[in-house]
């Protein structure tokens, strides 16, 4: 039967701007430009009221509605608001689930088990790799929304996102990209003052992607409170009453309603103005209205506050033990007191607290023994009502109530079941919540399942980046397993501990990994042993013991391949690739990464495909070592770009940061400095946001190499030293080796003498061969030192060590260094051959910055011997330097590059230009003059290419040649020159 309520303001006050914005968003969505908006404000600001107002606007525009919300306990339940929305939609049309869900119904049955009665039977699906099952659900939900929106514009309302589970928030990050052209508006509400780090991260991600419209729902001003009071009272209020209410509520609409509800209607003005003990907080207001309740009514409201924000009438009926008429009478009192409201739905009666704050205040006043007893009553009532095909949400709620009640056997059974479900859909945060409840119960019962639950909690904390909590749980699992003589469980805990410590302390990780391997070898499980080999191999690799690490990975590969374990085989290839990459064997590493990527693609593991492709596209070692290279930067860029696309598709932030680093390294290799800066800084920002130390190090390293390429030694040194501090704190040995070598290079280039180089011998023996990227960079630093000290023979020995054993095209930078040493030894013919070899390799496989250095070196080499060659090389150097400078968007940074001592001899003074032909047009070819004319029109390279019907790369070369021939450093100088030469007339004044 209906239950009436009152004291809700009958009109929406002072929200015209927000309503207009929402109406505009509906229009955009209706036109096929999907939008995601969040109404944010403090509790009680009127967010839900705005949603209720906008729904009729949407209906009038032909929108269909899909509405769901979150409860406080929903942080434990994956996909909670989506499940709520789908259930409400299905209940509204119970006879047509196929028409609503379409081809996604079988996948969505993982979230809504009741759908299995409607879904076509199918065989058991093979287990999915980590994360893949969750991504499959993401895709199914996106496809469902796209299909619904294709039929009719769709408004999706998701209320109270501050209580949303982490998985639902991940989904929210994915949907704007997946549904960009759908006729869809997703409208969420969230408390701005509710602490939820997952929501903050989600909103930050959406802001950065420019995929979020934020509408702040602010408190009302005094005039707005006056209009609200007038609507509530039915008459204009006294100004003093308005001022008092505004002062005491700070303009919060809910507080205004709540405060007014406590005051006797017959003396409202006088009471509010004259009573000094009027409640100043919402809790006081609510408890005042709850005072003096009859015993039966008090029992009902206590049960309701324990049961949740929303409570089914049938649950209250079962838990209270009251006859329906008596319960309804109690509910009428509570509705009349403004504590509860009725929510009507097609198939059930549901009550809800007027506001979450109402429930919070009522729950807080209960003593712990009272809460425990009530949780037991509610849990038992839920258990009696549960169907045989119990849903995961039922299990989670039962686990919550029995845990709070201290009924440990039932808490263990239900919470463990809910945790299993959350793990299956890769909802880590929710799984952890359920597993911790189950663990408390297992420990209380002295149940052996506590070992595995400790381990699962440790794994979850590790994935969430909580090192200390993860360590505590994994160490507890290890100790308990050893106490109970559970060898396999002890080995598993050791394996996980080794992986955990690999992010902090590789020495500790090595001891744990060796212990895990030894224990694995005492049992019959060969797969477990192979995985232990991979764990130890990866630790050794990061301790710079590359050969040992690779040998263990290869042993694991043979074992897993023999067992037919395709995922383990792919994982081994991926780890072999990284071991070879860090040893400086880039072509061999790329081959291994390519095999891993193909195998993971066959298995449908998108995350690992993205990771392997990104590693295959990492040009960084070519710049860093330098190392041998098997393809041009563009090929690396293609792999990195595909890795980046996949990372963004599955909303994998750590992978996105890694892929952006790979893109930045390829940009540096191609001389695309502006893009390199943008990609590198975005990678660093993401790494800092998610707290990923290793990706902060690699992003800073890449940006430092960019600075070094632009001859900004001070800037590069600052980045390398910052990265070193992070690497030192993380115990990342191979990063420290690389950074120390770069820091030595920078300090020497800045004029310091005798900078220590710990990773290579000062007198390089003939048999020495660099075994890592860091040792290769240290050899570069040593060679530069020897050249500066007048010991070119020693520099040549260093360069020769860099070229040993290269299986692909040798690094152009190392050959350039060798040429410099030969030139200093007056071995002119050999030096010139080395320079030409370096140029050929730089053209074929990069990096581009070698080209101007080769030209400058050859100009110096041939000066006084063949002036024509020297002048030609000088012109080439000028052209290359001008083209690279053009790629630097920042004027100050470009000027710093052009003023560098190494560059200055090859840059003509500003404003000076060559006049190599009688026409007085700077020696430009007809095509170059045509390009210069286009530059005066403000066209980009892409636009000029389209205008002239040639490739953008061709235009880039022409612009660089123009700048080099004329001695200019910017397009603006080129445009001014072209106008002065009459290549195009300047715009004429109008009128």
Q: Is 896 inside a domain boundary?
A: yes
What is the rounded distance in angstroms from the CA atom of residue 835 to the CA atom of residue 848? 14
**pLDDT exceeds cutoff 60 at 109:** yes
The answer, yes or no, to whether residue 398 has pLDDT greater than 90, is: yes
Does 38 score more than 80 pLDDT?
yes
| Longest distance between any two alpha carbons in the chain, whole Å | 111
Residue pLDDT, tens place only, 516-537:
999 999 989 999 999 999 999 9
For range 879-890, the mean pLDDT: 90
Query: Which segment of 46-50, 381-385, 475-479, 685-689 scores lowest on mean pLDDT?
Result: 685-689
Report if residue 424 sits inside a domain.
Answer: no
pLDDT at residue number 193: 63
- Listed in order, strand segments (DSSP E) in 296-437 are 310-312, 340-344, 349-353
The DSSP symbol for 234 reads: T
Residue 835, preceding bond cis, omega within 30 degrees?
no
Residues 208 and 73 in one domain: yes
* Burial zone of 52 (CB within 10 Å; 0-12 exposed, 13-18 middle, 19+ buried): exposed
| C-alpha pair distances (Å), 421 with each of 292, 417, 570 | 44, 6, 27
pLDDT band at residue 262, thresholds of 50, 70 and 90? low
Question: What are the pLDDT digits (tens) for 598-631?
Answer: 999 999 888 889 999 999 999 999 999 899 899 9
Say yes or no to pLDDT of 128 above 60. no
Residue 518 lies in a domain: no
Given 279, 305, 321, which residue is the final one in a domain? 279
| Residue 944, pLDDT above cutoff 60 | yes
Q: Once rounded to an integer, what is the mean pLDDT over residues 407-412? A: 96
What pLDDT is stored for residue 807 in this prediction?
61
Distances, alpha carbon 489 to alpha carbons 177, 513, 710, in Å: 42, 15, 54
Q: How confident is the model at residue 987 (pLDDT cuts 50, 70, 90)?
A: very low
Residue 906, pLDDT > 60, answer: yes
With 80 as the cut, is the pLDDT of residue 124 above it?
no
DSSP state, 125? P
Give the chain's mean pLDDT. Answer: 85
Least confident segment among 88-102, 714-728, 837-851, 861-875: 88-102
Q: Which of 916, 856, 849 is nearest to 888 (CA)?
A: 849
> pLDDT: is 871 or 118 the higher one?
871
Which range has the worst mean pLDDT, 389-403, 484-498, 599-613, 737-751? 389-403
Of the ranges 401-410, 428-437, 455-464, 946-955, which is most confident? 401-410
Which is more confident, 975 or 686?
A: 686
Question: Which residues are 311's β-sheet partners?
Answer: 351
Pair (706, 690) in one structural domain: yes
**CATH number where 938 lies:** 3.40.50.2300
- How many angstroms separate the CA atoms of 316 and 301, rounded? 10
Same domain, yes or no, for 149 and 41? yes
Same domain, residue pair 791 and 696: no
pLDDT of the residue at 427: 74
Angle at 174 between CA 173 and CA 175, to 5 degrees: 100
pLDDT at 425 over 90: no
Q: Is the pLDDT of residue 119 over 60?
A: no
Q: Token digits for 551?
A: 């040998």
612, part of any domain: no
What is the predicted pLDDT for the residue at 89? 85
Final residue of a domain: which of 905, 926, 945?
Answer: 905
Q: Per-residue pLDDT tens for 728-786?
A: 887 778 899 999 999 999 999 988 877 777 666 566 666 678 888 999 999 999 999 99
Domain of residue 653, CATH code: 1.25.40.10
Q: Are residues 182 and 42 in the same domain?
A: yes
795-844 per-position pLDDT tens digit: 999 999 888 865 667 899 999 999 999 999 999 999 999 999 999 999 99
Report the percent of the chain where pLDDT is more than 90: 52
Alpha-carbon Rg for the chain in angstroms: 35
**Shared domain check, 353 and 320:** yes
Q: What is the pLDDT of residues 171-182, one digit of tens each?
A: 999 999 999 999
Query: Could you tell me if residue 379 is inside a domain?
Result: no
Buried b or exposed e, range 374-410, using 16+ CB within 10 angstroms: bbbbbbbbbbeeeeeeebbbbbbbbbbbbbbbebbeb
Which segment of 178-192, 500-514, 657-671 scores lowest on mean pLDDT? 500-514
Among the three residues 366, 392, 407, which one is the final residue of a domain in this structure? 366
CATH of the domain at 296: 1.10.10.10
Are 820 and 919 found together in one domain? no
Confidence (pLDDT) at 27: 94
Total tally of structural domains belonging to the chain: 8
330 in the same domain as 307: yes
Residue 791's pLDDT is what?
92
In a domain, 991, yes or no: yes
544-597 pLDDT per residue, tens: 888 899 899 999 999 999 999 999 999 999 999 999 999 999 999 999 999 999
Q: Which of 14-18, 254-258, 277-281 has the lowest mean pLDDT?
A: 277-281
Answer yes or no: is 168 within a domain: yes
Share of the chain above pLDDT 70, in %: 87
| pLDDT value at 642 more than 90 | yes
Verify that 143 and 198 share a domain, yes or no.
yes
Segment 68-97, tens digit of pLDDT: 998 877 788 889 899 888 888 888 776 666
CB atoms within 10 A of CB 946: 13
pLDDT of residue 5: 39
Domain contains 508: no
Asked if 768 and 838 sit in the same domain, the reply is yes
Query: How confident is the model at residue 985, as a pLDDT?
Result: 38
Residue ranges making up the domain that contains 935 = 908-991
Residues 40 and 134 in one domain: yes
Same domain, 298 and 270: no
């Amino acid at each position: 039967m209906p239950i009436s309520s009152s004291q809700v303001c009958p009109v929406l006050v002072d929200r015209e701007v927000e309503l207009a914005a929402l109406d505009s968003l509906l229009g955009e969505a209706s036109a096929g430009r999907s939008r995601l908006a969040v109404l944010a404000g403090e509790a009680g600001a009127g967010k839900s009221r705005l949603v209720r107002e906008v729904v009729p606007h949407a209906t009038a525009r032909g929108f269909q509605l899909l509405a769901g919300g979150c409860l406080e306990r929903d942080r434990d339940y994956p996909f909670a608001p989506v499940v709520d929305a789908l259930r409400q939609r299905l209940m509204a049309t119970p006879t047509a689930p196929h028409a609503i869900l379409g081809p996604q119904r079988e996948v969505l049955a993982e979230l809504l088990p009741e759908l299995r009665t409607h879904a076509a039977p199918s065989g058991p699906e093979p287990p999915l790799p980590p994360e893949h099952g969750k991504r499959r659900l993401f895709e199914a939900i996106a496809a469902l929304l796209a299909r619904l929106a294709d039929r009719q514009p769709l408004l999706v309302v998701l209320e109270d996102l501050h209580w949303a589970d982490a998985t639902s928030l991940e989904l929210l990050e994915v949907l704007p990209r997946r549904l960009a052209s759908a006729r869809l508006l997703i409208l969420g509400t969230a408390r701005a003052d509710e602490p939820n780090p997952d929501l903050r991260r989600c909103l930050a991600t959406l802001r950065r992607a420019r995929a979020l419209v934020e509408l702040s729902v602010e408190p009302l001003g005094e005039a707005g409170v006056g209009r609200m009071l007038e609507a509530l009272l039915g008459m204009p209020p006294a100004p003093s009453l308005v001022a008092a209410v505004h002062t005491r509520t700070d303009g919060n609409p809910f507080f205004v309603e709540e405060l007014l509800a406590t005051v006797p209607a017959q003396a409202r003005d006088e009471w509010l103005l004259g009573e000094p003990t009027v409640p100043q907080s919402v809790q006081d207001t609510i408890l005042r209205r709850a005072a003096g309740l009859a015993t039966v009514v008090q029992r009902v409201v206590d049960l309701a506050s324990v049961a949740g924000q929303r409570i089914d009438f049938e649950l209250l009926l079962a838990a209270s033990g009251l006859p329906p008429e008596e319960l309804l009478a109690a509910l009428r009192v509570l509705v009349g007191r403004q504590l509860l409201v009725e929510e009507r739905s097609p198939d059930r009666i549901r009550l809800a607290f007027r506001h979450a704050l109402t429930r919070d205040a009522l729950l807080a006043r209960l003593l712990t023994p009272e809460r425990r007893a009530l949780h037991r009553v509610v849990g038992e009532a839920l258990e009696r009502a549960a169907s045989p095909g119990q849903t995961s949400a039922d299990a989670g709620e039962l686990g919550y109530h029995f845990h709070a009640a201290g009924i440990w056997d039932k808490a263990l059974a239900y919470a463990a079941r809910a945790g299993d479900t959350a793990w299956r859909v890769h909802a880590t945060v929710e799984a952890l919540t359920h597993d911790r409840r189950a663990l408390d119960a297992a420990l209380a019962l002295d149940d052996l399942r506590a070992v595995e639950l400790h381990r699962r909690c440790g794994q979850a904390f590790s994935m969430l980046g909580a090192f200390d909590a993860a360590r505590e749980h994994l160490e507890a699992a290890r100790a308990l397993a050893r106490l109970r003589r559970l060898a396999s469980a002890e080995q598993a805990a050791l394996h996980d501990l080794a992986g955990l410590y690999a992010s902090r302390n590789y020495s500790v990780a090595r001891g744990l990994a060796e212990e895990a391997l030894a224990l694995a070898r005492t049992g019959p499980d060969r797969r477990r042993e192979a995985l232990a080999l991979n764990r130890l191999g990866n630790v050794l690799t990061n301790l710079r013991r590359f050969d040992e690490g690779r040998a263990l990975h290869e042993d694991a590969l043979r074992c897993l391949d023999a067992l037919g374990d395709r995922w383990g085989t792919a994982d081994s290839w991926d780890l072999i690739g990284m071991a070879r990459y860090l040893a400086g064997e880039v072509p061999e590493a790329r081959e291994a990464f390519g095999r891993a990527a193909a195998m993971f693609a066959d298995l449908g593991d998108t995350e690992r495909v993205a990771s392997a492709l990104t590693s295959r596209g990492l040009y960084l070692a070519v710049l860093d070592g330098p190392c041998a290279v098997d393809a041009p930067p563009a090929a690396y860029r293609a792999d990195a770009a595909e890795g980046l696309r996949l990372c963004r598709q599955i909303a994998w932030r750590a992978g996105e940061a890694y892929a952006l680093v790979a893109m930045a390294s390829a940009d540096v290799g191609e001389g695309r400095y502006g893009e390199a800066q943008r990609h590198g800084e975005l990678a660093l920002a993401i790494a800092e946001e998610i707290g990923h130390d290793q990706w902060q190090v690699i992003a800073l390293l890449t940006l430092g190499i960019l600075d070094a390429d632009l001859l900004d030694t001070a800037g590069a040194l600052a980045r390398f030293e910052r990265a070193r501090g992070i690497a030192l704190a993380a115990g990342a040995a191979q990063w420290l080796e690389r950074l120390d070598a770069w820091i030595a290079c920078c300090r020497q280039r800045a004029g310091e003498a005798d900078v220590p180089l710990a990773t290579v011998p000062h007198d390089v023996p003939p048999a020495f061969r660099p075994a890592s990227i860091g040792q290769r960079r240290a050899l570069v630093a040593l060679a530069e030192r020897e050249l500066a000290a007048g010991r070119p023979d020693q520099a040549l020995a260093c360069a020769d060590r860099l070229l040993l054993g290269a299986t692909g095209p040798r690094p152009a930078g190392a050959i350039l260094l060798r040429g410099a040493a030969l030139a200093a030894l007056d071995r002119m013919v050999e030096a010139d051959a080395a320079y030409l070899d370096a140029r050929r390799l730089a053209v074929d496989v990069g990096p581009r910055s070698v080209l101007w250095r080769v030209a400058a070196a050859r100009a110096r080499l041939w000066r006084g011997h063949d002036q024509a060659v020297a002048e030609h090389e000088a012109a080439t150097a000028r052209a290359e330097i001008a083209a690279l400078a053009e790629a630097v968007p920042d004027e100050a940074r470009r000027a710093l590059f052009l003023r560098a001592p190494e560059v200055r001899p090859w840059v003509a003074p500003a404003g000076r230009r060559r006049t190599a032909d009688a026409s007085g047009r700077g020696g430009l070819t007809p095509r170059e003059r045509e390009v210069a004319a286009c530059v005066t029109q403000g066209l980009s390279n892409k636009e000029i290419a389209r205008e002239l019907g040639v490739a953008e790369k061709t235009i880039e070369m022409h612009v660089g040649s123009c700048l080099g021939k004329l001695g200019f450093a910017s397009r603006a100088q080129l445009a001014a020159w072209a106008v002065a030469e009459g290549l195009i007339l300047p715009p004429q004044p109008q009128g």
